[in-house]
Amino acid sequence: MPVMVLFLAAAVVLSDQLIKIAVVQFLKPVGSVTAIPGLLDLVYVENTGAAFGLFADQRWVFIALTIIFVIVLIAVLFRLKITSKIYFTAMFLILGGAVGNLIDRIFNGFVVDYLQLSFFPPVCNLADYCVVIGVVLMLIYVLFFTDFFDGEKKRKKNEKKAEASHE
């Protein structure tokens, strides 16, 4: 299953990059276009920061952190023997989104953003949404499909036992 996750992550990267090529070719010259009035505008933005334009002009920091993050995620993917579809979906979305924006940072010095929702003003891209959706899915997986809270309960119970035995 980890190989399938990498394959799907590559599909996300390919989709992200093809869309960005089209955005640069067709949207950059005009700047912005209303796609769905009152809901979605396509706006060409060269984002030198992180998500939503935060921490602008930290290109090499973001490149280094993203490379480390991707390596760690891939190691976790192959090391842990998790079979959950939610976990795998989260992993391919996060990996694909991270690598999609990493490619932009390395080759352009900025990330091409183009999606602006009327109710969410920051301009984003497919890779950004994949990362966000992947993180939400990972949180759902950790909180509801693992023994995350049970592990904490066991730790506290063991601490109480240890304290009681020392008294």
Q: How far is CA 132 from the centre of its chain?
A: 5
Helical (H) or strand (E) element with 97: helix 85-108
Is 113 annotated as catalytic? yes
Looking at 41, 113, 147, 150, which residue is catalytic?
A: 113
Helical (H) or strand (E) element with 122: strand 120-124
Crossing angle between the packed helical segments 85-108 and 126-145, to the nearest 10 degrees:
150
- Phi-psi group of 42: left, alpha or beta (phi > 0 → left; psi -120 to 50 → alpha; rest → beta): beta
Mention every residue, 6+ apart, whose C-beta is less than 8 A from residue 56: 47, 48, 49
Q: Provide the edge-to-edge strand list for the sheet that holds 111-117.
A: 32-36, 40-47, 111-117, 120-124
Q: Which residues are catalytic?
A: 113, 128
